[in-house]
Structure 1
């Protein structure tokens, strides 16, 4: 081994140790889902044989299929709507740039500093007056336009070649056709990054669905997990299995789109 490679060994060792620390919670979650509640409380680190029993107890205690379905519907619908709305906004802020839009963007960024708890009660009263309590639309609508995603698309649009826009306009394409046929395919890495962030946020969203969905028949996976841990006696093996099942969709989405996510967060355009 050359001297240069030997110099890299401490760095790789350091990263390996922190990688193990990062992966340990995932490992413990998977192992705990196969053990009894007593084994989980005893911090057993080896797989057990209680996975089927935990799954049977889970589907007996809660409507797992319904919770997964409502979580998926909310997350997918929120992601698609947010990508469309925020990309159009970010495109408009940068491509049709003006000082007034800079002021409006500054106001949107200031809105990021307002905690959701401060707007939750007025938001609930608004949806209640519109008769939208216990509806999927009430869960989706507040999340389809976020300052962060608008800023992400605006910053990525700064690298978008304006010469293509001018050429497309000379060829007679409308602004809508330019956006749909040129901008969206060119910015696919940014869309992938935004999709990962939005899907994870929507899937893991707990507070707002808990407030607006008053009927447990519409509960999502975070609400189901909360209900499992709210009893007098908590079966931690069942709870960890529910957490594992709730984590799988977000892990799959991230693993599938991780390269595009990294490129999109760095502002790369392909």
Structure 2
């Protein structure tokens, strides 16, 4: 009975793993084939990888798109986790009925779909475009600002702060540290796993963000990598080998960040404090 149960368990896990991995495998294999071979469903590696890469560099501004995505993602991630952690720390350490009301309002804002906010956000940035082009339409700042502070990240840091030993705060105050000094010198090093998990989530979300950059970014030199991939697939006869190669390249940074911080990510999601 135990043997049959073990066989079923490993069999189920094997099938689930294959279903999860197959799309990535097919994507990598398709990047080495011609477009016609991809449409035929070829599942064997081809010899067209270098040609696809050369064609991608010649037909698109890949470097600019990657640079734009990297700048937006890195700056958004750093600012988002700093602001959200400050807010989460404040909500948990300095608790009051008024702060709980504000926090509940923040949680209610998570129920508003982004589609309902697009038009007001666009009009707001369009109104400041003439006076402050740096903050207006077709700027990186316009892409970053709506995603820097999110209710989810504040909620995530506040819940994680519940595991933070309050005695350390009192010890820091006795030693003469300011509240900001306690946050920087005690809270941040102690909650590094939470920061790692938040950084991964924010970076991946910002890197793969498509809808808002599509609306805000209008000039070709401001396009991000998701917009570049979308443009590749919008032609009359898309080159699927080229598209798959672009997707592979776009996937590498997020995959690298995740695998480098995987252990911290799991610990942070579990809410552990070390």
Q: Aligned equivalents of 1:89 and 1:46: distance in 2? A: 51
> What's the RMSD between the two structures over aligned residues?
1.2
| Runs of at least 5 residues in structure 2 that lack an aligned partner in the other structure | 130-135
The corresponding residue for 2:246 is 242
Secondary structure of the 1:35 match is: coil
| Runs of at least 5 residues in structure 1 that lack an aligned partner in the other structure | none
Q: CA deviation at 1:13?
A: 2.1
Alignment of 1:52-201 (within 5 A): 52-131=50-129, 132-201=136-205
Find out whether 1:45 has 2:43 as its counterpart.
Answer: yes
Q: Aligned equivalents of 2:160 and 2:30: distance in 1? A: 42
Q: CA deviation at 1:67?
A: 0.3
Q: Aligned equivalents of 2:160 and 2:268: distance in 1? A: 8
Q: Aligned equivalents of 1:6 and 1:254: distance in 2? A: 35
Secondary structure of the 1:173 match is: coil
Deviation per residue, 1:42-80 (Å, 9 max, x gap): 110000000011111111111000000000000000000
TM-score by length of 1: 0.97
Count of aligned pairs: 268
Q: Aligned equivalents of 1:115 and 1:165: distance in 2? A: 37
Match of 1:225 among 222, 225, 229: 229
Secondary structure of the 2:117 match is: helix
Q: CA deviation at 1:4?
A: 6.1
Find out whether 1:207 has 2:205 as its counterpart.
Answer: no
